[in-house]
Structure 1
Amino acid sequence: MLQGIVVIWGVVTIMFGLRAVAPGDPANLMLAEGATQELVEQVRREEGLNEPVYVQYFDYVRELITGDFGYSWQSNREVEAMVIERIPATIELTIAATIVALVIAIPLGVISATRRNEPADYSATLFSLLGISTPNFWLGLMLILVFGVWFGIPYPTFGLSWVSLASISIPYPSVGFYDFPTGRRPVGFGEAVLTLVRYGSVYDLLVWLKHIALPALTLGTYFTALITRLTRSGMVDELGKPYVTASRAKGLPSVLVRYKHVLRNTMIPVITVLGLQMGTLMGGAVITETVFNWPGLGLRLIDALGTRDWPLMQGIVVFIAIAFVTINIAVDAVYNYLDPRVSEQ
């Protein structure tokens, strides 16, 4: 916990330092072009920009501790509100990318470890190498070009519609086909779930899945390759240990030994990387969100960077740091569950 506080303080300090040494007068950035010098001086006095840098720093830290992130220089809105409204989209993308990575990577790692020096092992290794080596921005552009522009590959969507017969509403299934989208999502996950619960229609949920499919695949590719290699190496190490030989000698099925015992012990380092990479995915989603116009924190950070909106940039980066620290604390808690020896040490 103490280390996490130090990390957050370091991020706050670095961001404030970058703001202090950045060229340009913040007062001019807050005002429109052609503002009079008197108005500029008034803004500097109101915002405390005439104070020494160390005074501005302590004032900023004190405001952060009280939960005041300030106001955006461009929109004059509270930074907290601008951050909070984009959090759900970023969390959706991060979790979806993580799920994509785990669903693909763990079976590949297990197959690669149990079929060493076979075509399946070579294929998984090649896939890992390509995944780690491929830049996310290039992969995202290629997926848009191939699926959304060149081929426009359709896939079916299903829902429930209602028809009135003799004053009675009767549901009937409806089927449609839609291309992969290249624009911003029209509905979020929460809204889609509410539509499903209230009206029994999965249309909005399928629309959400359609929009998140390519961004999640793009963001999760590097993570998939990393987890595949980590699972393979962990499985290889565990399969050579005496308890595996003893379990097989007792007549336990290979599937039971492989997935209940070996894979569980392999998951400890995987969870370490999972926790670290989920925080990294939140920060690394900046590029993916920009490529796919995904309305998350990353896209808002790029917009703030383009307009030099420092309070908004600082608020987003500080939130990502807090999320990163929180995820690592959660990973430590999962450690204690999977391996009680960790808490004893």
Structure 2
Amino acid sequence: MLTFLLKRLLGLLPTLLIVSVLVFLFVHLLPGDPARLAAGQDADAQTVALVRTELGLDRPLPEQFVRYFANLARGDLGVSIRARRPVSTEIGERFLPTLLLTLTSMAWAVAFGLIIGIVSAVYRNEWPDRVGMTLAVSGISFPAFALGILLMQIFSVELGWLPTVGADTWRHYVLPSLTLGAAVAAVMARFTRAAFVEVIGEDFVRTARAKGLKERVVIAKHCLRNALIPVVTMMGLQFGFLLGGSIVVEAVFNWPGMGRLLVDAVNQRDYPVIQALVLLFSLEFILINLVVDVLYGLINPTIRYR
């Protein structure tokens, strides 16, 4: 296990290197002049030139590239063009709200998705299956921004039960987490159903039933564990998508997280913040995949790491 983990962690370096190169080239191809945006629309050409020099944007692109990687190797993510603060500070203030929102969304989405998927598989082609898969298809098909606006209209504007913006209390998490987790719950339900339908038809399940075991024991002990490996894979991928894909939901609810920070950074052409956030999202995906691989061994002890 230790050797496996070390190999995977060493494999992070070339992946992050490739991502950082692509991100650097991408952000410098974005239209717009960050020096003009930082100086203000009313600034004259001399002021814009001074700002460009201060930000190092007047230097040739290869030189900017070398400076960027030299700073990155020292752990220096740079200074935000928009806020004039260290990028690590900017991200540090926004990381926790996004993480808590993601964990909240993932918790209820996985719970509901597993329940709906298992019930649909057990009662395959019956009315619980039809109802569950109808909800799943609806959750996948409904856009996140439209669902967020609908929930705000009903529970905030019409009923006045829940707040629309902010992240101060648990009540602020309800609507954003429902919006963010709806698609994940739908995907989990469909994926869990498919995995369970395949496992339920296996010989060892028929043998367990032939021994006289109760149906709930067969489902919980024999089917669940064997169906969890593909489900856990999907859970890991969905968790990564939630962390990096909360941009739309954070924009709708004005959530003070990393998604909203990325939107502001793109609008202001804040190169250091964009580069750091994309690298962070890439690192999160890689680490989540590593955690999923480790969970395989816990779920199925027959799996060996080589």
TM-score (norm 2): 0.91
Answer 1 or 2: which has greater helix percent.
Answer: 2
- Unpaired segments of 5 or more residues in structure 1? 153-178, 188-207
Counterparts of 1:46 and 1:302, CA distance in 2: 24
Give the number of the structure whose residues are more often strand, by fraction.
Answer: 1
The partner residue of 1:307 within 268, 275, 287 is 268
Q: 2:133 aligns with which of 95, 118, 125?
A: 125
In structure 2, distance between residues paired with 1:209 and 1:47: 40
Change over 3 Å in CA distance of 1:262–1:74 after alignment to 2: same
Instruction: Tell me which amino acid in the other structure corresponds to 1:226.
Output: V
Indicate if the aligned counterparts of 1:29 and 1:73 stay in contact, CA closer than 8 A: no
Runs of 4+ aligned structure 1 residues displaced above 6 Å come to: none
Maintained 8 Å contact 2:105/2:178:
yes
Which residue number corresponds to residue 338 of structure 1?
A: 299
Matches within 5 A, 1:15-164: 15-35=23-43, 37-152=45-160
CA distance in 2, matches of 1:22, 1:305: 9
When normalised by structure 1's length, the TM-score is 0.81
Q: What is the rounded CA distance, in whole Å, between the counterparts of 2:71 and 2:36 in structure 1?
A: 23
**Structure 1 residues 122 and 56: CA distance shift in structure 2, 3 A:** same
Shift in alpha-carbon separation, 1:183–1:37, aligned structure 2, 3 A: closer
Residue aligning to 1:157: none
Deviations 1:168-203 (A, max 9, x none): xxxxxxxxxxx2111212x2xxxxxxxxxxxxxxxx
Q: CA separation in 1, counterparts of 2:250 and 2:91? A: 15
Which of 15, 18, 39 aligns to 1:10? It is 18
Q: Secondary structure at the match of 2:262?
A: helix
Percent of pairs identical after alignment? 37
Residues 143-182 of structure 1: per-residue CA shift (max 9 Å, x gap):
0011111222xxxxxxxxxxxxxxxxxxxxxxxxxx2111
Looking at structure 2, the residues matched to 269 and 300 of structure 1 have their Cα atoms a distance apart, in angstroms, of 33
- Segments of 5+ residues of structure 2 without an aligned counterpart are 1-7
Aligned length: 298
Q: How many Å separate the matches in 2 of 1:99 and 1:108? A: 14
Asked if structure 1 preserves the Cα contact closer than 8 Å seen for 2:19 and 2:279, the reply is: yes
Contact 1:248–1:254, Cα closer than 8 Å, also in 2: yes
- The AA in structure 1 aligned to 2:163 is P
Note the C-alpha offset of 1:260: 1.5
Instruction: Quote the offset at 1:34 in angstroms.
Output: 4.9
Q: 2:233 is matched with which residue? A: 272
Output the CA distance in 2 between the equivalents of 1:137 and 1:25.
29
8 Å contact kept, 2:34–2:268 = no
Partner Cα separation in structure 2 for residue 75 and residue 125 of structure 1: 46
